Every structure is written in structure tokens, then in C-alpha cells.
Amino acid sequence: MKQKATKWALALLLWMPGAQAQSIWNTDHLQSVKQSIDKPFYAHSYQALKAEATRLLDAEPLSVMMKEKTPASGDKHDYMSQARYYWPDPAKPHGLPYINRDGISNPELNKLDRNRLGATANRVTTLALAWYFSGEERYAQKATELLRVWFLNKETRMNPNLEYAQVTPGHNNDKGRSYGLIDTYSFVEMLDAVALLEPSKAFTAKDSKQLKAWFAQLTHWMLSSPQGKEEAECKNNHSIAYDVQIAAFSLYGGKQQQAIDIINALPARRIAKQIDTDGKQPHELTRTLAFHYSQYNLTHILDLLTMARNLNMDTEALAAHDGHSFYKAMDFLAQYMGKDSGTWPYRQISGWEEAQQNFCRDLYRTATWLNPTRKDYLRLYNDCRTLDLSDRFNLLYVQATEVDHAYAFAAGQLQLAMQCADKARKEQKNAARRHVVPRTIAKDGSLAMIPPHDWCSGFFPGSLWQMYAYTHSDFWRQSAISWTWPIEEAKWHKGTHDLGFMMYDSFGKAYELTGEQSYKDVVIQSARTLITRYSPKVKSIRSWDHNRDKWKYPVIIDNMMNLEMLFRATQLTGDSVYWKVAVDHANTTMKNHFRPDHSSYHVVDYDPETGDVRLKCTHQGHSDDSFWSRGQAWGLYGYAMCYRFTRNPAYLKQSENIADFFLSLPHMPADGVPYWDMKMDNINNLTPDNVNPDVPRDASAAALIASGLYELCTYVAPEKGRRYRATADKIVASLNSHYQAQPGTHYGFLLLHSTGHHPGGSEIDVPLNYADYYYLEALARKRALDAE
């Protein structure tokens, strides 16, 4: 009972508000993540973590007794590793003494203890985190077993010294080098994980006491041994890695002042001596992996500064000394982010991408946990990082936003969507008609697939490209490629005005993200095809060819969205013809499609011989004089886009007028998601909070409006811009909270409750691929604005 009481007293101390339980992790953050563990961004990482921890339940505990060699001491309990970059000298008998081949690892080190030490630290960390987030004691039991075998059990324990770390055969009587002290760096994070284990039943007060004693002995050895003293005087990353370990081990053992002393010495002792005033780290730049080691050293500094932050020390004062600065060193590396290794003026013989991704983590940690004013670091991180949603880093450091959660949700759904669509397109009925892209869910509950010539064919591949833009992951790039090229033939299709939807939202997105010529070629050909539908008499692009007995030259408000491809075609080719067609069309539409209150007709029909207006009506709205919601959204978005390219203030004013009219409708639902049409008898007398649940909403219109407002808010006066942005935020929050499909359902579509063609009885209260596309676009635009 006494032992149990002691254990819980210790646990209470560790978990008291303000108690220092972690060195480089943040207790408050971990608690926040735990409370949000079921939210998509964290759930992906958590499920991966838990799956790995479950696999480890059957893992054999590792120990120093497993190595194939015995150290010169004759005691296998002594840890032993081999210098990574030293190889047998081919010119010498037995290869002794070994010679240096910097940057090239010798696989002989696998026969000794280093990999097992790293694996044990990683396994304990994984299991402890799994216990912390799940509360399942089996993970704590396994973590405790691994700790006891490596550190505590008499038969298997490692002696608390590094006398034979990084032995170089043939040198120094086969004793270890000072550089070997870096081998235990993985214990820094592991001890943060061990601190999480304290309240578990498995990790006893005795375990805690013994482990603290073990690390106290190791720390004493590191401080007093010749190797430790030599490591402390190193002029490169090894000395700072040494400091991090001393500080972390001291904090774990309760010697806070010892850690503070180490941290306080950082500016003068390390930063001033290892970072030049221009940000270069000269001792790291001589290496064959110069970028890697420069970044590696900054991670060590960042770990120390993070400890300082957790101790409420002045991190800004600690980050610089006499013109030498941690931030200057970060800035020096930052200028090479996202660039080819050939731009790096020093050697990096391998691992360029990995080093860049590691530096991305440093950028994020610095901007989020150390200096939030460095938003440039956060932007660079967002631009250059490759996001792996299963990565443990997400749990430990990332402050996920609602946008991140929405994207993570989308990632899971879109993977399901690809599986369902791939299966569906192989079915005979779809294969025979070359239906290759998912559009919606049919009335019979099946997945509705469409051919390349359908106006919605570009939205699904476009959604995949948007996931690539968010993650920079090759998985999403390859997925997007595989769903984009099957619709290429539509670039020749002269029978539609919707080539902008079809080809620019797919191939155009691909080109913008990759710069590959093949995508550009498709976009340009699509623009050539589209302008064949332009009439110089009407000064507009014809929309439909059907219903010729009713319309002679119909133009619909939707057609505004196809102009983006034409504007870009001029930018890509230098040929002004596309631009002129786009401007003519925008001007004609602005003149004839809008009523005095700035609401829009759906269809305007022209006399193709004279260009005169024949009639104004609707096709998908409730009535000719009603406010079809998606039509208003097309106009709002379309004119904001036209202003982006032309800077014509008339287009900006038109977009503002549409927004002001539509958003101020007195019966607009409070969540910002409109009814499919906003002028009908059964809603006209309603209020925002008194909605008619029997009238279908249109999430696709809401996503369009939000995306358009995010662009529009950047062009208008600040006060108005804030209003537009707040409205867009409200809409996105509503879509996130109340319109998302349940994960793993609805064939992988993202949003429910859209309306396609209500008067035609088609696609009512269903998911639609264009709703998903503009939802993702709205998320991207919100994310960009939030990062400013």
C-alpha cells in the first residue's frame, strides 16, 4: 500500500498544473490532442500509432546481451557500437585500422547495440503514447517490460556508460569515441514518453525510481568521463546534442537547475561558436551531408530552446549572441527549401529530400512552439512539407486546425471514392459506355459514373489534385494522374461550353501544381476548342445546343466559370484571342443576366444573327424570376475571378453586388447554406433560425459561395473584406459540422445535401462531385488566408 501511495503521489506531482513532465514535448498540447483524438487529422496518426503499438505487443524485448561481439571490457552489459562512417582499409591486413568514408554507413554496425538501442527507445515511445491516448494498460505493460529488460533487470541491463560507443576498429585500443555519446539521443524523446507512463498501473514507483537512478548514473558518466568531457568541447553538432541529453536527463531526474545551467550556456558557448553571423554553420558545411548536418544541429538547438520554453525561460534571449543567431541559421537553410539539390553550394551526396522534410519539421516547431511571429516559417513549411497523415509528428507537435481536420476527413473519403469508382468503372454497364468518373449517387443507390464528355468529368480528378496540393504526397499525385488522363479526349469536344469545368479543374490544376508541359498542352487545346463556340455578334460563348425549338443561342450564368481557362490560355501562349473572348463574354453577361437588385437569371437567349436578347428565363431554378442559388454563386465567384485577371473594377463591383444581395436575403438559413432556390412561396416568410426542413438545401452552392468570398475578401475594403471572410468561415464551419458524410460511407463523397436539377427531378439532396471540389477549394483558400 505504501508503494502504491508513493506511486500515486508521484503521478499527482507529475500531472499537477505547471509540473514539468516533459522536456521537448508539451503536456498541454498532448492533453489537447487526447481530447481531440477522434478528430480526423489526429485520428489518422492515432490509428497508425495504435496499430504499430499492437504489433509491438508480441515483440521480443531487446538487450545489450544480444550483440555478436563483446566489448574490450569483457562485459557484454557494456553498450557497444561502431563508428558509422568507418570502413576496413583495403590496403591493410584485416582492414585495420579502419578508415573514414564520410556519409556512407558501414552495415557492420548492425551487429552491435546501436540499432537495438534505437529500436527499444522507439518502441517504448510508441507504446507509452498508445497507452496515454487509449488508456489501454496492455501498452503500458509492454513498454514497462521493454524498459526493465534494457535498463533494469540484472541479467540483461545495459551498464549506464558509453565507454564503447562508436568504436573504430584498430584505433584507441578498441575503446569508444567521444562521438559515441550521441548514440543515446533517442532517449531524450523516450523519457518524455516514460513520463506519460507514470500514472499507469504497470510502471511502478520502483521502476520509476530505478530508471531515474540509472539515468543519473549515465549523466554523471557523461559529465565526468574523458569521452564526455571531449564531447562537451566539440565544435559541431555533437556538443549541442550532448547538451540536450544532459539537460533532458537532468530534468527527468528532477535536477532542474542543472538543466537550466546547460540551457543558459547555449548562446555564448554554442551559438556564438558554431553559427556565423551570416547563418552558416562552418563545421557542418565541411561534411559530405552538409545540409543534413546543418539541419541536424538546428534540431538540437531547437530541442534545447523548447526545453527553455517549457521552463518559462526567455527563448529569444537564448537564441542569439553577439550577432550570431539560431534564426539566421534557420534563414540560411530556408532559402534552399523546395529547390533542387543542385542549388545547394555545398556537398549533399544523398538524402536531400529527407533532409528537407526534417527541416520542415524544424520550421513548424519553431513557428508554432517557439516564435509565432515567424509566419514565414509556417508558410514555408506548408509550401514544402510532404504530409503523411499517419506520422506521429502530427500528434506530438501539430496544432491541427478545423481545415486540417477537414482535409484529413477528405483524404479518407477520397481513398474510398477511388476504390468504389475503380470497381464501378469496370462493371459492364459502365465499361461499355466508357463511364470513368464518379459524379453522384443515383436514385437506386448505386454510384453514378460519367463519361469524359460530361460537364462534371473534371471535378473528381481536380479534387485529387487539391489533395496533392495540400499534402505534396506522391500518393495523391499519382492518384490524380491516374484519374485525370482518362478524360483527355474531351479537349476536342466542341459540343459543350463546360470545357473550363472539365479541363481546367483537372488538367489546369495539374499544370499549376507540376508545371509539366503535357498538362499545359491539354489546357491550350481545350481553350482553342472552347472559343469555337464564341459568336462575335452575340459577343458571348454559346452554352447549350439542346432545345433548339426553345432557344436559339442560350447562355447560362454557369458559363462564367469557364472563362478562367481562357484567361490562363492567353497568359500561357501570349495569344490575346482567348482573353478577348473571355472579356466579351463577361461584359455581355454582366449587361444582360442581372436584374436591378443584382440577382441573376439562369438563362439568357440571344438572336444569333443580331445579338439581341430574345428571352430571359430559368432552367434549373424555381421560376424565371427566382433566385436559383447556385446561379447566384456562379456569378459571385465568376466576377471575382475575372477581376483577378483583369483588375477591371466593374467586375469587382459586380461580384460585390451579387454577394451583398444574396447574403442579405432575410430568410437565408443561419448556417449560411442556402435553399436550392431562394425565392419560393414556402420559404419567403421564414427567418434564418426558422427553416423549412422539407425544402432541399444546396451544399454545392454554399461551397461555391465560400470559395468565392475567400477570394473576393482580398480585393475589397478591409471592413467589407472581414465581413465576407467571416461569412465564408461560417459556411465552411457549417459544412464541416453538419454536411459531411459519415467517414466510410456514401462511396467516398465528402458533402451531402446538394441539389443538382430540382425542376427536372434530378440529383436532389445528394452528394455531388462539384460540391466536393469547391469545398476543397474553399478549404485551401481559407488555409492560405489563415496563414497570413
Closest to 356 in 3D by CA, of 287, 423, 289:
289
Q: Match 476527413 to its residue by C-alpha cell.
A: 409
Beta strands in 117-212 (DSSP E): 164-167
Residue 490, C-alpha cell as written in the block: 474531351
CB atoms inside a 10 Å sphere around CB 278 = 11
- 78 among known catalytic residues: no
Distances (CA, A) of 105 to 71, 86, 400: 21, 8, 37
521 belongs to the catalytic site: no
C-alpha cell at 685: 416568410
Q: Choose the catalytic residue: 558, 584, 671, 677.
A: 558
| Spatial separation of the C-alpha atoms in residues 736 and 676, rounded to whole Å | 19
- C-alpha to C-alpha distance for 719 and 200, rounded to whole angstroms: 53
- Cα 233 to its chain centre, rounded Å, is 39
Question: How does 520-546 read in b/e, with b if 16+ C-beta sit within 10 Å?
Answer: bebbbbbbbbbbebbbeebbbbbbbee
CA 25/CA 306 separation, integer angstroms: 8
Long-range contacts of 508-511 (CB under 8 A, 24+ apart): 508/564, 508/565, 508/568, 509/462, 509/465, 509/466, 509/469, 510/461, 510/465, 510/480, 510/481, 510/484
Measured CA to CA, the distance from residue 514 to residue 477 in angstroms comes to 9
- For residues 633-652, b (16+ Cβ closer than 10 Å) or e, as one string? bbbbbbbbbbbbbbeeeebb
Distance CA 408, CA 391 (A): 12
Q: Give dist(CA 668, CA 675) in Å, integer.
A: 8
Q: What are phi and psi of 111, to 5 degrees?
A: -85, -10
Radius of gyration of the chain (CA): 32
Do 413 and 743 touch, CB atoms closer than 8 A?
A: yes
Cα–chain center distance at 64: 39
Tell me which of 183, 362, 454, 498 is the catalytic residue: 498
In angstroms, rounded to a whole number, what is the distance separating the alpha carbons of residues 542 and 551?
Answer: 11
Residue 685's φ and ψ, nearest 5 degrees, are -100, 10
Specify the pairing of strand 613-617 against strand 603-606. Answer: antiparallel
Question: Angle at which helices 137-147 and 40-56 pack, to 10 degrees?
Answer: 50
Q: Is the dihedral of CA 645, 647, 648, 649 positive or negative?
A: positive
- Tracing cell 425565392 back to the chain, one arrives at 679
Nearest to 246, CA basis, from 307, 294, 290: 307
Give the long-range contacts of residues 465-468, CB within 8 A, separation 24 or more. 465/506, 465/509, 465/510, 465/513, 466/509, 466/773, 466/776, 466/777, 466/780, 467/407, 467/410, 467/411, 467/414, 467/776, 468/513
Do 526 and 488 form a contact (C-beta atoms < 8 A)? Answer: no
Q: Phi and psi dihedrals of 495, rounded to 5?
A: -90, 15
Q: How far, in Å, CA of 240 to CA of 64, rounded?
A: 26
DSSP single-letter state for residue 600: B
226, with CB counted inside 10 A (0-12, 13-18, 19+), is: exposed
3-state helix, strand, coil split of the chain in percent (to 5) is 60, 10, 35
Residues with active-site annotation:
498, 558
